Structure 1
Amino acid sequence: MREWGATLAIVAPAFLLFTGLLYEQRVIPSESMVPTLEVGDRVAVSKFAFGYGRYSLPLSIGRYLPLGGGRFFASTPERGDVVVFEHTHSERVMIKRVVGLPGDTVQMINEELVINGQPIEAEFVRTVRYVPDRTDVVDTAHEWRETIGDKTWLTHRGLRGHTVDDTALFVVPEGHMFLVGDNRNNSYDSRELSGHCPPVNGVVDRAGCPLRVPADDASIGFVPLDHLIGRADTVLMTFHRCKLQDDEPCQKRVWRGL
């Protein structure tokens, strides 16, 4: 018992320091970031990328502590970063891609992402058939390569499900972000109005209004920068099995940078 006690006294604080200050692992639970991230992917999250706040603490213990807002050594994400964060309205950890920063205007028009009045660069790649997680149904998606600056990623469009092809105009408030999933028809994200203030003349530019739906049913809305946990940098490994049809090649799922 003394041996075990001495080991735990060293290992436990070292683990908490490492996961609180440097990196932690998160497992992808849903298909909202397909094809970039699949269900079961183990992702390394950089905790120092954007500074430290209450949600940076390991094991999500920060949500239970009487800590104030703000972050130490704070920096702002770049458009295109994949970030892990605390849901704006409920106690859930989420992962999405940053497309809007404070002061940006964001809108979806006919499936195109328009930032500050300009559609982002997008190129059709291929049409793929695959089996979504925990189903036996073969689905079809149109794969597009999107680019903002020097960041490029793949998205899926045209899937069956809840589509958000056209939206109101969003103006990102100070201290907030606009986030979307790469699986555009299977991601409940900032495009959905349920987590936002009501639009005024087709424009959403405020945050912090009372919710009109239960917190568990609300979208993430505009996400406060203080809710950041870290940046997803690398797919370490996965238990996901490739389910693409027609002998289409699958992406590498081990030690792959994002």
Structure 2
Amino acid sequence: MADDGEKAHSVDEDESLTFGQKVKRELHEWAVTLAVFIPVFMIFSGLLYEQRVIPSESMVPTLQVSDRVAVAKFAYGYDRYSLPFSLGRYLPIPEGRIFARTPKRGDVVVFEHPHTARVMIKRVIGLPGDRIQMIGETVYINGNPIDSEYIRTVRYVPHGRSRAVTAYEWRETADDGKSWLTHRQEKGDRGDNTVLFVVPEGHLFLMGDNRDNSLDSRFLSGHCPPIDGVVDRVGCPLSVEADQASVGFVPMDHLVGRAETVIMSLYRCKFEDNEPCKKRVWRGL
């Protein structure tokens, strides 16, 4: 009976409140909820995982436009770029990285573009000290061609286009056995043959899996000018506008984290010739 009385009393109280008082009470409850939720969310997304949405086709076929990707923030340590919503670029946080770890070749990394404020995603191909060069569409690492195997030819409709394109799918395998798929299209693209790149200490050489649609470390617009056909320096003035520059050599302290899983996707498969579509929900990279 006491419980019924308490409920009746609560109902009577609600009915006695004015509309303005009810709104004020609801706002107060929301404020309390957000005061608890926001710090928890900031700690989780700043220290553990955050979600990123893929904005372009530079990582096809591994990642498609609109894929939601889980990024492990703890994979390479923490610095100002680890904060959620890119808050680190606006706060007076000292440079440097704590619990720093070097990525492995083949890792898919999320990072802040060295020349602009854009957050991007590419694959690690070159580590500090590596000598990287593209010769006839093939990646050479320290003078040796990466193991490449032709898989199949596919036709698909790229994001935002109405016509299908033909892509040749290859599997590349690193020395440690890690492998990934790449797409190649027209032979003779400007990224198929490059000068020699020697990756400076504290930097990475990154490439997109969609080799003919990725402004990555292969392109000179984000690098110092080559000397005798070799690029091995950083810190030179750009020869183009910053938003037109490639990523160049990417400093490791610009890393946000390691992309690990496609959580879900709004991508609609548009393969032709009845090619099968890969699973795009909770798929590891």
With structure 2 as the length reference, what TM-score do the two structures score?
0.89
- For the residues of structure 2 that align with 1:28 and 1:142, how far apart are their CA atoms? 22
Deviation above 4 Å: which 4+ runs of structure 1?
Answer: 159-162
Counterpart of 1:31 in structure 2 is 57
**What displacement does 1:68 show?**
2.1
Matched, 1:123 2:156: no
| Partner in structure 1 of residue 200 of structure 2 | 173
Map 1:13-92; keep pairs closer than 5 Å. Answer: 13-92=39-118
**Aligned counterpart, 1:196:** 223
Q: Secondary structure, in 3 states, of the residue corresponding to 1:194?
A: helix
2:272 aligned residue: 245
How many Å apart are 1:87 and its aligned residue?
A: 0.1
Contact 2:137 2:187 in 1 (8 A): no
**Structure 1 residues 162 and 60: alpha-carbon distance in aligned structure 2, compared to 1, 3 A threshold:** farther
Q: Which is richer in helix? A: 2
Matched AA of 1:241: R
**Quick one: which amino acid aligns to residue 152 of structure 1?**
S
* Contact residue 60 and residue 182 of structure 2 kept, 8 A: yes
Name the counterpart of 1:186.
213
Selected match of 1:114 from 140, 161, 166: 140
Q: Hey, what's the Cα distance between the residues in 1 that align with 2:240 and 2:29?
A: 52
Q: Deviations over 1:51-94 (max 9, x none)?
A: 00010001100011122221110000000000000001000000
- 2:260 is aligned to 233
- Helix, strand or coil: the match of 1:132? coil
Shift of 1:159: 4.2
Compare CA radii of gyration and give the structure with the larger one: 2
Amino acid at match of 1:131: V
**Cα deviation 1:13-51 (Å, max 9, x = unaligned):** 011000000000000000000000000100000000000
SS, match of residue 17 in structure 1: helix
Count of residues paired in the alignment: 258
What displacement does 1:150 show?
A: 2.5
- C-alpha contact 1:197 1:204 (8 A) present in aligned 2: yes
Alignment match, 1:214:
241
Asked if structure 1 preserves the Cα contact closer than 8 Å seen for 2:77 and 2:100, the reply is yes
1:125-181, Cα deviation, whole Å (9 max, x unpaired) = 000000000111110000000111221110000248954100000000000000000
- Any residues of structure 2 matched to 1:96-111 within 5 Å, and which? 96-111=122-137
Question: Does 2:159 match 1:133?
Answer: yes
Percent same amino acid at aligned positions?
Answer: 68
- Name the SS for the 2:246 alignment partner: coil
Unaligned runs of 5+ in 2: 1-26
TM-score (norm. length: structure 1):
0.98
Residues 139, 159 of structure 1: 8 Å contact kept: no
Give per-residue Cα distances to partners, 1:207-231, cap 9 Å, x unaligned: 1111111111111000000000000
Q: What letter corresponds to residue 174 of structure 1 in structure 2?
A: E
**Contact 1:96 / 1:181 at 8 angstroms: preserved in 2?**
yes
Q: Which runs of 5+ in 1 are unaligned?
A: none
Q: Distance in 2 between matches of 1:50 and 1:6?
A: 34
